[in-house]
Amino acid sequence: MKPTLASQAATRTEEDTDHRTRVGRERRERTQARIIEAALRVFAEKGPDAPIIDDFIKAAGVARGTFYNYYQSTEELLEATAKWLQDDLIVSIEAEIGSLDDPVERLSSGIQLWLRKARTDAAWCAFSVRVRRHGGLVEQQLGAALKAGREAGVLTFTGADAARDLVVGALREAMFRMTEGRVSATYPRDITRLILIGLGLDARSADEVLGRPLPRLRRAARTIA
């Protein structure tokens, strides 16, 4: 049956509506990314506590009303920038280690790749240290890796919260050291070894895992322009 003029008109109207919706969504996404990218530069320069809303509005070059369409406070924007930057790195890391069967190798590789990013991307490292926040995906994947290692019987820590804080605290201090000056090429591996042993893995097994090839990130993670 041939479509009627009315049905053709309805189809065109629906297509026009879908097109406008898609264009509007893409425009909003571009504006939001623009605000976040500007916020990254402001936070990296001033730290998490010093900036005011006007700093972000000026850096992004948007109207005040436009800014408040997306974020209502500095704290809210801080959470968004950490998620935008760090969760993106987790996506890149998971693309390389997600298929590994050994939970300790996944954890070890993830930590080393995180530290490699910090060692080779000074701006990313400085931001991550100064904002003291982590994206939701960071916490989710770390928690899952620790749980898998303990359930497999290879990590013997007792408290999940303590284990999480051991990993995050060691990484934060390692990254702070990187912002203060150069570290050796083996530094990320050395930190990872100490973390694994702290989580209950014996030294011999830690060395065996660390001796396996470490993948390179094929998907480029975001950085601070």
Give tens-digit pLDDT for 159-180. 999 999 999 999 999 999 999 9
Residues in the chain: 225
DSSP 183: -
d(CA 81, CA 125): 14
Neighbours of 15 (CB within 10 A): 10
Residue whose pair of structure tokens reads 């050994």 in the numeric block: 102
Do 144 and 169 belong to one domain?
yes
pTM value?
0.80
Band of residue 130 on the pLDDT scale cut at 50, 70, 90: confident
Do 59 and 91 belong to one domain?
no
Among 72, 90, 114, the domain boundary falls at 72
Which residue in 196, 187, 147 sits closest to 167, CA to CA?
Answer: 196
Token pair, residue 211, equals 């001796």
Domain that holds residue 32: 5-72
The answer to whether residue 108 sits within a structural domain is: yes
List the single range of 46-50, 110-114, 123-127 with lowest mean pLDDT: 46-50
- Write the burial class of residue 63 (CB in 10 Å: 0-12 exposed, 13-18 middle, 19+ buried): exposed
Do 55 and 159 belong to one domain?
no
Checking if the pLDDT of 1 tops 60, the result is no
The answer to whether residue 216 sits within a structural domain is: no
d(CA 142, CA 169): 13
Do 96 and 59 belong to one domain?
no
The answer to whether residue 220 sits within a structural domain is: no
Do 84 and 47 belong to one domain?
no
The answer to whether residue 218 sits within a structural domain is: no
Do 56 and 98 belong to one domain?
no
Do 49 and 129 belong to one domain?
no
Q: Are 85 and 124 in contact (CB under 8 A)?
A: yes
